[in-house]
């Protein structure tokens, strides 16, 4: 039996890892998974033996055009952007857009990634008219893990941003999930799954896509903060 190989965006890791565990127990299939940012997925998909890719729809559209993925597309869910601080730091006010704006201006430093979340935040800060003020005190990393590590080991009034799912999972690293962005400026990234065009474990891949659409899988994803 061929092992099913997945390449997935990291933002859905907390829920997807549990879905994979349950799928393996129910079916006996072995599943290997690599989590990466959207830019990394573009690079990794060409050099790895993969059966399923989980990514934002726009990226999947590009991969379809490139002949890398094909067939049925199954929605996994959507993830919003959240705010984090280390556990001994003062909690910033983020209930309203003005609260968040003022908290960012008063922060000693701001940390976020270069992936989907970071791209959105960069545009958001420009819209809020604070991009210039934040530029000199902003640190960015390629992925969420590095952001969590930085904030957890930080000092002063430091504010970090990331996918809500990843921040909640980072509690063990000494982080506090302050809350999601205010609803008026919240940004959801949607994730979907597709089979690769040249995958080996095609039967198992079909079965996994079917399982993703079940109520059981959706409940597991929702428990991890992934809205389905």
The per-residue pLDDT for range 119-177, each reduced to its tens digit, is 999 999 999 999 999 999 999 999 888 999 999 999 899 999 999 988 988 888 899 99
Residue 206 in domain: yes
* pTM tops 0.75: yes
Same domain, 174 and 208: no
Has residue 175 been placed in a domain? Answer: yes
CATH of the domain at 175: 3.40.190.10
64 with 118, same domain? Answer: no
85-106: pLDDT as tens digits: 999 999 999 999 999 999 999 9
Task: Verify that 96 and 180 share a domain, yes or no.
Answer: yes
Domain of residue 30, residue span: 4-79+189-223
Query: Both 22 and 56 in a single domain?
Result: yes
pLDDT of residue 1: 65
Q: What is the pLDDT of residue 115?
A: 84
Question: At 87, phi and psi to the nearest 5?
Answer: -65, -25
Indicate whether 163 belongs to any domain: yes
Same domain, yes or no, for 121 and 142?
yes
User: Which residue blocks in the chain are alpha helix, DSSP H?
Assistant: 13-27, 38-47, 57-65, 97-106, 116-127, 131-135, 144-152, 164-169, 202-212, 215-223
* 102 and 176 assigned to the same domain: yes
Cα 180 to Cα 124: distance, rounded to the nearest angstrom: 14
Confidence tier at 201 by pLDDT (50, 70, 90): very high
- Give the angle 123-129-131 at the CA atoms, nearest 5°: 60
User: Is there a single domain that holds both residue 52 and residue 97?
Assistant: no
Overall average pLDDT of the 206-215 stretch: 97
Cβ-contact 113, 147 below 8 angstroms: yes
Query: Is 228 within the bounds of a domain?
Result: no
One domain for residues 48 and 100: no
- Residue 137 maps to a domain: yes
In this structure, the answer to whether residues 150 and 56 fall within a common structural domain is: no
- Write the burial class of residue 2 (CB in 10 Å: 0-12 exposed, 13-18 middle, 19+ buried): middle
- Given a cut of 90, whether residue 47 has pLDDT beyond it is no
> Does one domain contain both 94 and 134?
yes
**Structural domain tally of the chain?**
2
Whether 134 maps to a domain, the answer reads: yes
Q: Please return the burial class of 209, using the count of CB atoms within 10 Å of its CB with bins 0-12, 13-18 and 19+.
A: middle
Residues 128 and 208 occupy one common structural domain = no
**Among 116, 115, 96, 99, which residue's Cα sits nearest to residue 107?**
99
In a shared domain, residues 54 and 135: no
């Amino acid at each position: 039996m061929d092992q099913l190989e997945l390449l997935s965006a990291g933002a859905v890791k907390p829920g997807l890892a549990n879905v994979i565990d349950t799928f393996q127990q129910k079916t006996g299939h072995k599943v290997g998974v690599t989590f990466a940012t959207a830019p990394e997925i573009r690079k990794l998909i060409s050099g790895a033996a993969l059966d399923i890719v989980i990514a934002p729809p726009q990226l999947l559209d590009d991969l379809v055009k490139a002949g890398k993925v094909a067939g049925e597309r199954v929605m996994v869910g959507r993830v919003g952007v959240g705010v984090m601080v280390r556990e001994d730091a003062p909690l910033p006010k983020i209930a309203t857009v003005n609260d968040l704006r003022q908290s960012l201006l008063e922060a000693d430093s701001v940390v976020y990634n270069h992936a989907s979340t970071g791209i959105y935040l960069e545009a958001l800060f420009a819209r809020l008219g604070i991009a210039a003020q934040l530029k000199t005190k902003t640190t960015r990393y390629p992925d969420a893990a590095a952001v969590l590590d930085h904030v957890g080991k930080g000092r002063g009034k430091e504010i970090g941003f990331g996918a809500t799912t990843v921040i909640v999972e980072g509690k063990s690293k000494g982080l506090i999930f302050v809350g999601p962005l205010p609803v008026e400026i919240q940004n959801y990234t949607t994730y979907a799954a597709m089979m690769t065009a040249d995958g080996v474990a095609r039967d198992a891949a079909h079965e996994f896509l079917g399982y993703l659409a079940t109520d059981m899988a959706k409940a597991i994803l929702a428990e991890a903060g992934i809205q389905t």
